[in-house]
A and B are shown apart, each in its own frame.
Chain A
Amino acid sequence: MPWFYGAAVPMLLWGLWTALYGVPVDYQQGDSYRILFIHVPAAWMSLFIYFVMCVNAFIALVWRIKLSELLAMHSAPLGAAFTLLTLLTGSLWGKPMWGTWWTWDARLTSELVLLFLYLGVMGLYAAIDDRRSAARAAGFLALIGSINVPIVHFSVEWWNTLHQGATIKLFGASTMDPSMIAPLIALAFATKLWFVGSLLARTRVALVEAEIGKEWVRTSLANTKPPAGESV
């Protein structure tokens, strides 16, 4: 788990430094386009984490694996945070470029729905007392909500939106300068690694909470003095 953070942080720092200092100014948007280096990786993460959550929720529902329930449920907070970050940075970018903080555009609206789905999953999980049935109910909600993921992704192609189309394409040429792509890719990888580290950290704590009455938790905790910190 510390390795994921350890790998993410240098990449993150390099990406942020390059994004803020290394890359040249955009010829149309000036310096404001630097928000892209936060906005786009965050948006990718908002969809990626939803996908991870759904895969785990599916495994939890079909095979009743307790660890998958925890993994699915503890993906949600960081997913919601990235979705919120996407919306906020989009807003901060929209104000100087489009002249508005918010518009009911297909991309923006579907991303907002994604945020509500995350919050719904978290709320439902918190609302039911029995942890396991809570995870199953919330996982079911997450799976139903997965219909929104392709809508977010393709919204810029299906509808005429104010939001621009994809600049980075997995297949075919990207319409972006290579020097600008490098920090973007670095930040995209760094956020993914960070998410893995964070998910493991959150799930470990949740596992301890779930098993709090059991012997192994007590014995391993008795051996760690509070200042020793890290190990459970």
Chain B
Amino acid sequence: MGADVFGKYQASGGRIRMSEWFDMGKYGLYVWSSYGLFVLMLIWDLLWPWWKGRSLRQQLLHRARREQARQQSSTELPLP
């Protein structure tokens, strides 16, 4: 936050101090928890597809590795 922002609000008679801003005229708890919940929801939403994609990728890698191992073992051990 630059001094110009504070200057502007000082001039307009708005809030000027950080502690007052966090206090939100005694409604701080309600206001900030609302905004916090919103941000948390966005983060959850961002992480979900990423996390899901990663687990799918691992699943596929395991599967590919299994198939590779099976093919190798069948070539190494000639059938009687």
Contact = CB atoms under 8 A, between A and B. Distances in A.
Contact of A24 (B14, B44, B45, B49): B14
Interface residues of A, number: 42
Main secondary structure of the interface of B (DSSP, over half): helix
Nearest to A94: B30
A147 interface: no
B49 A204 contact: yes
Interface stretch (A30-38, A111-119, A137-145, A148-156): A30-38
Nearest to B33: A92
Categorize the interface residue count of chain B.
Answer: 20 to 34
Given A25-B25, A202-B49, A208-B53, A32 B37 contact: no
Interface in B45-76: 45-46, 48-50, 52-54, 56-61, 64
Contact of B24 (A12, A31, A88): A31
A128 interface: no
Interface of A: 5, 12, 16, 20-21, 24-25, 30-32, 34-35, 38-39, 42, 77-78, 81-82, 85, 88-89, 92-93, 95-96, 194, 198, 201-202, 204-205, 208-209, 212, 217-218, 221-222, 224, 226, 232
21 contacts: A5-B46, A20-B21, A20-B31, A20-B35, A24-B14, A30-B26, A31-B25, A31-B27, A31-B31, A32-B31, A35-B30, A81-B41, A81-B44, A88-B37, A89-B38, A96-B30, A198-B45, A201-B49, A205-B56, A212-B60, A226-B54
Interface of B: 14, 21, 24-28, 30-31, 33-35, 37-38, 41-42, 44-46, 48-50, 52-54, 56-61, 64
Chain A to chain B: the 7 pairs with minimum beta-carbon distance, closest first:
A201-B49, A32-B27, A31-B24, A31-B25, A89-B34, A30-B25, A92-B30
